[in-house]
């Protein structure tokens, strides 16, 4: 039985991922343990009232536990009263049971990624994007895009980037003034810093770099290092008299700086985390697409258990608004275009 199937009074037996663990003290001065248990269907809070010394370390965030308990409704929220608990050895674990995955299978996402990279015609842009993909490798394919807000599941980062690429490709057809190579390359690399900012899909948490630097600063620094290795800043070594925009090396540096700018500005405003505001067409549109995709995913999560004709809870990351779910809504549809549609667009 999965967490989403639990109901008041149901006996709970099974294995769960500990997404969070905190020691507390009751009004009577007795210690207890609060666990956030998780499987691929969701999370639920559990209480172990008979706390034993070291339980907070024994059942720490990120481990798998066997649980025997009872689901009870408390203040209209379901939680588990733990009867017994024991850790599970982390060997040959099928993590797909405990961590939600992107709604599109990884092989399909990889095929779409390869298709978009192959469609980049500018050799400097393509080399830069391929070098970034080589640098981050498997992490880019499997990392979540957030701890909890949007795309917070296995391959969430890749799914977010590919959905943005789908939108970017369409927008470029409507507005031909946009450089398609910059747009496609930009959405692929814009969030790569999250592979360092976040610990991974298993009990996702911010790393030290994530807490003190953030994915925007991390991504810009990593791209600058890659671009230098590719010789895209050789323009700076030219004699001052030769450093003109007509020199062939200027364009290489311009592309590298343009990609740094996209990374630094994709949250639009300083109050949202951007180091600078978007100052090119491509940076502006990528920031808009990024915001749109994130908000759509936030709403998808908010509507998950809302009946048609009902409303979500207030969403703090959407200006504390609640949203109405109309009867005509197409819930459950997967975002983005298919591989076949993408290939037709590329033709």
The verdict on 114 and 131 lying in the same domain is: yes
| Claim: this prediction has a pTM higher than 0.85 | no
The verdict on 57 and 175 lying in the same domain is: no
Query: Which of 65, 96, 127 finishes a domain?
Result: 96
Backbone angles phi, psi at 182, to 5 degrees: -65, -40
Strands (E), the chain: 11-25, 31-39, 42-48, 64-74, 77-88
The verdict on 168 and 307 lying in the same domain is: yes
Q: Among the residues of 52-175, which ranges form H helices?
A: 55-58, 106-118, 123-142, 156-174
The verdict on 264 and 210 lying in the same domain is: yes
Rounded (10°) angle between helices 156-174 and 106-118: 40
Range of the domain at 176: 99-346
The verdict on 77 and 121 lying in the same domain is: no
The verdict on 246 and 143 lying in the same domain is: yes
Q: In total, how many domains does the chain have?
A: 2
The verdict on 135 and 7 lying in the same domain is: no
Q: How far apart are CA 338 and CA 216, in angstroms?
A: 29
What pLDDT shows up at residue 200?
Answer: 78
The verdict on 189 and 128 lying in the same domain is: yes
The verdict on 131 and 63 lying in the same domain is: no
The verdict on 50 and 112 lying in the same domain is: no
User: For residue range 20-56, what is the model confidence (pLDDT) as tens digits?
Assistant: 899 999 888 999 999 999 888 888 999 999 999 989 8
Query: Which of 37, 64, 96 finishes a domain?
Result: 96
Residue 69 bridge partners (DSSP): 12, 82
Which helix (H) or strand (E) is 87 found in, with range? strand 77-88
- Provide the CATH number for the domain around residue 13: 2.40.50.140
What three-state secondary structure class fits 280?
coil
What three-state secondary structure class fits 150?
coil
What pLDDT shows up at residue 77?
Answer: 85
Which helix (H) or strand (E) is 282 found in, with range? helix 281-302
Query: Which of 96, 127, 142 finishes a domain?
Result: 96
The verdict on 61 and 191 lying in the same domain is: no
User: For residue range 76-116, what is the model confidence (pLDDT) as tens digits?
Assistant: 789 999 999 999 887 777 777 888 778 888 999 999 999 99
Selection from 150, 232, 239, 142 nearest residue 195 by Cα: 142
The verdict on 311 and 237 lying in the same domain is: yes
Cβ atoms of 190 and 219 within 8 Å: the answer is: yes
DSSP state of 289: H
- Average pLDDT of the segment spanning 108-134: 96
């Amino acid at each position: 039985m999965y967490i989403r199937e639990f109901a008041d009074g149901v006996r709970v037996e099974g294995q769960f991922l500990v997404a969070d663990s905190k020691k507390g003290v009751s009004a009577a001065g007795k210690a207890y343990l609060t666990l956030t248990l998780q499987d691929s269907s969701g999370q639920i809070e559990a209480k172990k009232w008979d706390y034993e010394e070291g339980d907070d370390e024994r059942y720490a965030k990120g481990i798998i536990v066997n649980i025997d308990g009872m689901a009870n409704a408390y203040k209209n929220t379901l939680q588990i009263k733990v009867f017994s608990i024991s850790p599970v050895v982390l060997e040959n674990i099928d993590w797909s049971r405990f961590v939600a995955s992107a709604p599109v299978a990884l092989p399909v996402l990889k095929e779409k990624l390869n298709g978009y990279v192959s469609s980049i015609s500018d050799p400097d842009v393509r080399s830069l994007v391929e070098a970034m993909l080589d640098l981050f490798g498997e992490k880019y394919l499997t990392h979540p895009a957030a701890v909890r807000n949007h795309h917070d599941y296995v391959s969430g980062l890749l799914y977010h980037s590919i959905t943005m690429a789908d939108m970017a490709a369409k927008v470029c057809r409507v507005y031909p003034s946009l450089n398609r190579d910059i747009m496609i390359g930009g959405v692929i690399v814009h969030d790569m810093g999250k592979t360092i900012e976040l610990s991974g899909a298993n009990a996702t948490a911010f790393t030290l770099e994530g807490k003190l630097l953030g994915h925007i600063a991390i991504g810009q620094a990593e791209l600058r290092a890659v671009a230098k290795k590719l010789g895209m800043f050789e323009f700076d070594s030219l004699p001052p008299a030769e450093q003109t925009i007509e020199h062939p090396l200027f364009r290489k540096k311009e592309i590298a700086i343009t990609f740094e700018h996209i990374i630094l500005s994709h949250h639009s405003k300083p109050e949202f985390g951007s180091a600078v505001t978007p100052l090119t067409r491509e940076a502006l549109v990528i920031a808009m697409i990024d915001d749109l995709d994130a908000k759509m995913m936030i709403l998808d999560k908010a509507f998950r258990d809302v009946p048609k004709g009902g409303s979500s809870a207030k969403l703090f990351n959407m200006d504390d608004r609640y949203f109405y779910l109309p009867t005509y809504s197409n819930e459950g549809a997967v975002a983005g275009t298919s591989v076949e549609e993408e290939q037709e667009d590329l033709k």
